Structure 1
């Protein structure tokens, strides 16, 4: 088995793991009523760009190896580092979903009786789920030895992150006021002590 095949197989495990973790929370979240939402055309475009980079393009490569002209031979170290990043991403992804519980939402929504989650993984980071997605994008770049499929996750998710983080924090400040402002003052967005 080649390192490319191992990397692709690990990426498939990452994608399936992501789906399995998210599935049960998505079902539960549908039952919770939305009190306020910032969904709209801009959010739909951001989500579509992210899905293309983290799902569609790498999925096409995993299934067909297209585009072959942009592929290269990966090193063993690259694939091992990709597997470590994937494992970190999935663990963090699970912790964030568990901490959020019924407050979780795929988009910019405030639930009825929404509580600001500030414990567990959220005690030091305001957006650990975004860190999990960054780790997934890095894992994808390492596991898929193709310049398009590998790097598309960084571009796709990066677009979502940088265009969404501001509106999301403004929405949280409007919903939770001083409680969110105090929380924001004592936490980092995604990297403790840095950002």
Structure 2
């Protein structure tokens, strides 16, 4: 494993994520939106996350900039990061498959929206966020650069902190006691962690 191979394989995983998501994105557009929370705040946090997980690592992979911030390369770290990214891709696919037409890139409620509690949703309430955290950590391991590596954790972490509460409020408003019961027994993003009491 070399730095160049690690970068190229990380980039390939980024492309694989898009390949996984694209067909589900097309299918979800066929289901009518009843409520969409795509406001300025939502656009901003999506932009920050995309910058950290997409733009900065892509620029680093394509150009090597900023090479001055490169760390001493560890093949073991890079391999661990790539394995974690592959696991994240598997979780991405399982999450999209479980959601079906309920999936949306934004906070949204669609016609015939149902509360999904099966598949990977038996283990965590937000497996998509779990997968993005795995990706962000994988990026910090594989792209061993003080800017490109942690950019994913900062970018996605910003989205997560500013969005998860709004998403859960929307689910509570839409599904009421059904959501509260599900949230009370299911951890938020870490499987098998004791869930906090639903608010």
Instruction: Give the TM-score normalised by the residue count of structure 1.
Output: 0.97
Alpha-carbon shift at residue 72 of structure 1 (Å): 2.0
Q: Structure 1 residues 45 and 36 mapped into 2: Cα distance closer, same or farther (>3 Å)? A: same
Question: What is the DSSP-based 3-state SS (H/G/I as helix, E as strand, rest coil) of the residue aligned with 1:31?
Answer: coil
Distance 2:87 2:27 in 1: 24
Distance 1:23 1:65 in 2: 28
1:57 aligns with 2:56: yes
Match of 1:150 in 2: 149
Question: What is the DSSP-based 3-state SS (H/G/I as helix, E as strand, rest coil) of the residue aligned with 1:117?
Answer: coil
Match of 1:10 in 2: 9
User: 5 Å matches for 1:7-86?
Assistant: 7-86=6-85
Match of 1:123 in 2: 122
Distance 1:83 1:58 in 2: 14
Distance 1:13 1:27 in 2: 22
Distance 1:6 1:189 in 2: 34
CA contact (8 A) 1:37 1:109 kept: yes
Q: Structure 1 residues 193 and 142 mapped into 2: Cα distance closer, same or farther (>3 Å)? A: same
After alignment, is 56-65 or 80-89 more displaced?
Answer: 80-89
Q: CA RMSD in A?
A: 1.0
Alpha-carbon shift at residue 14 of structure 1 (Å): 1.1
The count of corresponding residues between Structure 1 and Structure 2 is 194
After alignment, is 157-166 or 72-81 more displaced?
Answer: 72-81
Alpha-carbon shift at residue 36 of structure 1 (Å): 1.1
Gapped regions of structure 2 (runs ≥ 5) = none
What are the superposed Cα offsets for residues 85-134 of structure 1, whole Å, 9 maximum, x if unpaired? 11110000100000000000001000011000000100121000100000
What are the superposed Cα offsets for residues 53-110 of structure 1, whole Å, 9 maximum, x if unpaired? 0000000000000011111232111011111111110000100000000000001000
Match of 2:86 in 1: 87
- Structure 1 stretches of at least 4 aligned residues deviating more than 6 Å after TM superposition: none
Match of 1:193 in 2: 193
Match of 2:139 in 1: 140
1:164 aligns with 2:163: yes
Gapped regions of structure 1 (runs ≥ 5) = none
After alignment, is 23-32 or 167-176 more displaced?
Answer: 23-32
